[in-house]
Chains A and B, each alone.
Chain A
Amino acid sequence: MSMIINGLPAEVPLDPRVSLLDFLRDDLRLHGTKKGCDQGACGACTVLADGERILSCLALAVQYEGRSVTTIEGVGTATELHQLQQAFIEHDGFQCGYCTPGQICSAIGMAEEIRRGVPSHVTDDLDAPTMPFCAEEIRERMSGNLCRCGAHNGIVEAIAATFAALPEAEAAE
């Protein structure tokens, strides 16, 4: 019984009560994924499961057998940052830094949702194949990731700066 965490195999825990979050933090000592409420209300524990954002506190580790999970440690390292991580620093998209890994993982998953044309509550045309990567869409889609320090403006700027230009760039190719 194993899963893939950041590209490496990991044995699924024997105790079926162990959440994916506690498995990452307590068993694997991957502390980048944060615990802010343990009840799906804050988003600090967001990780990517096969590229989709999930709340690891609401997931049992055993459910992810055979799946591929990416945590903040798999997104980039302090010396080799993902461009979104770099953008968070540039735009001061955090203060205490505790919600930050969840915001970053969530934004990566969200960008993919927008690219796939998944509409949100603020999307005007539900049938449109693409939607603008605007601040309104980002705010709506990131509202499950709480930030108490109040770095919201910087977070939205960092996400927009990283992803908003991409569809155009891809179109130009």
Chain B
Amino acid sequence: MSIAKDPKGLIQGAAQGLMAKAVALAPDAWVPGGVPDPLIGRQHGHVGRAVSRIDGPLKVSGTARFAAEFPMEHMVFAAILFSTIAKGRIVTLETARAQAAQGVVEVMTHRNAPRLSPPPVFMSNPKAAGGDNLPVMQDDRIHWNGQPVAVVLAETQEQANHAASLIEATYETEPAITAFDEARSHARPAEFMGEPLHDEKGKAETALSTSAVRIDATYRTPRHNHNAIELHAVTVAWQDGVLRLHDASQLVSHTAWSLGQIFGIPEDKVLVTSPYVGGGFGGKCMWQHHVLAAAAAKLCGRPVRLVLSREGVYRLVGGRSLTEQQVSLGADADGRLKALIHRGLTAKTPSNVMPEPFILASRSTYAAEAIELDVHSVELDLLANTFMRAPGESVGTFALESAMDELAEALALDPIELRIRNEPDVDPLSGLPFSSRRIVDAWRAGAEAFGWSRRSPTPGSRREGEWLVGMGCATGTYPYYRMPGGAARLTLTPRGASVGIAAHEMGMGTATAQVQVTAERLGLPIDAVDFHYGDSRLPGTVLAGGSQQTAAIGAAVIAAHRLLIKELFDIVGNDSPLAGIKPDDVACRDAGLCVRDDPERHETYASILARAGRASIEVTGEGPLPLELMHWSMHSHAAMFCEVKVNAITGEPRVTRFLGSFDCGRILNPKTAASQFRGGIIMGLGLALMEETQVDERNGRVMNPSLSEYHVPVHMDVPEIDVIWTDIPDPHTPMGARGIGEIGITGTAAAVANAIYNATGKRVRDLPITLDKLL
């Protein structure tokens, strides 16, 4: 549905358009980030230090407790039976044998499940967490192959699993659309985050037809699954009217609110905690297992632990959808882009709102004179697809950056030089200034460190024994995001400070980096700061997604810090060395406040609190609306370099070296940041070479629902990966940082594909690049 066809959307769109114009033209100082975060200037403190993870000892000793590791009194174990048809209805569901099996407490089906409202789908409300809006076990309807049809509850997991195998279901099938090609003729314009995935600047087709050099190619990427190693799990109980969930979550507040909607209870009657998450990547949001476990606990009156089997994760938790992308580039003889056309097709389901937005990177990467971008989407009767690491950019940069490599060859121009030649001065579509854009620096530093000058531009010209050797490069890019809803509680005591925010630690190093930032902001040692997160009772609605969490927390803590200083001044009194000073003129250092221009005038927090007879001060600050996103074009970039060897006899591709050179603002912790960059790149190697969720298009069933058949990179696939960065702060973001969780996967697949082309002369436009495509 396009906005123009929907009157409410039309009015909202117009209002947003006016607001965007006003914010774009406003003076910098009126916009969040207009006055740089003072922390940007503090160069030799906690921020930027390679601090080891504060939760390291718990994780390496196996004592960090994950969602399936909270025992509860009288708990029962759950097992799920999945549908085997794509669409239709349940005719018979024979549960008597399961019910009678040893240890079975209850069998839940649509016949006896508590009556529930459908899940609120993502973006239908700021706190909506549902991957789709299908009713959960409320009727006999089947919407996808793998939908849960029964939940067995038993005293042990073995008893539950066995009993689930005793249930017999028969179905009446209805025609289902499960093949991409079959749906092609019904493609419709796609929307992402309420905006059409369509952009035009100038007449791109005309510009293309008159360009001196043209490239026109189609690229395909398959479905993917997140495959976090921790299985999705919840341990759930109803305790005195409160629904209590131990979850593995990247959105605890959203989940609490959404479950409240489903069960018809206020959100403060749902308590979701998630202290550790065994990998997320977009997959640890709210899916049917949350609802089923809570409903089952209600039905049987006992706590329930529901751990999805690995197959269950593939049946129940959506992944990334497939794409078919056409890229047409037109350039003059010097390589300056006259036309950039990037359009194509993806698939979603009727019940979700997530077309894979593969054009996002093409909006801001190159200064083409004319641009046309478009995503169309078809609807298939499959499990709802969802966000997976860098939705859009991960697969979109494969197409765009492969095409740029093809263009460089057609122009006989170095691929790095081609990219630098098309570097825009302002955002190519919006015309907004960039908040900070140093991709050229990243290219030059990366080329030097990687030894790019040793690359032969002639494909297939370097051979070592039976191995063909090649190098390739590509641009990676991911935007700076900050979503509304960030709020943080800051508590100051004589011993130190603690931050409380309903944010998440899935391995990104959030807790460690935020302790460093808060310690620096307050002038405290690191061990005097605690960071509380992963609890829906804490302030803020913070999604660990879109690489936005660092900024969302940062802006909320800045707001809370401002309130804290104000409160301290309210109690400072006339006997303090700070008497008569304005809050704007102080700085935090050495566990107290001092006059910014006269640091000797200083009083410790402990002293201020003691004189006022206060044990602590607690404030809660809310981050401002993220208007900076309408005032500047804000993006991180990476220059990705890959060396591959391809076996001339077997076609086996091996990545032998990889270097990522990043421009992501200020790096808060080089140790954890390097791991984020490497982690993204490694998932990108999987995207390039091996990952594919295979669907049987005849019946919509995932054919490889296991880690032995869905291949992810293993140790032997991962060479040493060099990561370097500009470390140039973005003056308009909290701490000068931009999120780094997703950019590593962008550009990587194209860098690999381009290196394989350089090694072999074979251009593979269809991921993954398996050896059969290189024979």
Listed in ascending order, the chain A residues whose CB lies under 8 Å from chain B are 15, 17-18, 22, 25-26, 29-42, 44, 71-73, 75-79, 81, 85-86, 88-90, 92, 94-101, 104, 135, 138-140, 142-156
Contacts and interface: CB of A to CB of B under 8 A. Distances in A.
A72 B229 contact: no
B192 to A, nearest CB: 25
B58 A26 contact: no
A41 B708 CA distance: 5
Nearest to A80: B61
Contacts of B277: 96
A96 B715 contact: no
A98 B57 contact: no
Prevailing SS type, chain A contact patch = loop
A149 B389 CA distance: 11
A146 B158 CA distance: 25
B716 A140 contact: yes
Contacts, number: 198
Which of A38, A73, A76, A152 counts the most B-chain CB atoms under 10 A from its CB?
A152
A81 B682 CA distance: 29
14 contacts: A31-B66, A36-B707, A37-B310, A37-B708, A73-B62, A79-B57, A92-B52, A96-B278, A98-B228, A147-B715, A150-B681, A152-B678, A153-B718, A154-B675
Contact of B278 (A18, A34, A140): A34
A44 B671 CA distance: 24
Contacts of A38: 231, 309-310
B229 A29 contact: no
B715 A145 contact: yes
Given A22-B158, A85-B61, A140-B715, A148 B227 contact: yes
B230 interface: yes
B718 A152 contact: yes
A97 B507 contact: yes
Interface residues of B, number: 65
Contacts of B672: 92, 95
Contacts of A73: 61-63
B480 interface: no
B231 A150 contact: no
Contact of A34 (B227, B229, B676, B683): B229
A151 B62 contact: no
Nearest to B679: A150
Nearest to B675: A92
B279 A89 contact: no
Give me the 9 closest cross-chain CB pairs, A-B, nearest first: A32-B62, A97-B59, A98-B278, A95-B507, A150-B679, A96-B507, A150-B682, A72-B62, A89-B56
B708 A96 contact: no
B591 to A, nearest CB: 27
Contacts of A90: 52
B674 interface: yes
Nearest to B58: A78
B60 A89 contact: yes
A49 to B, nearest CB: 17
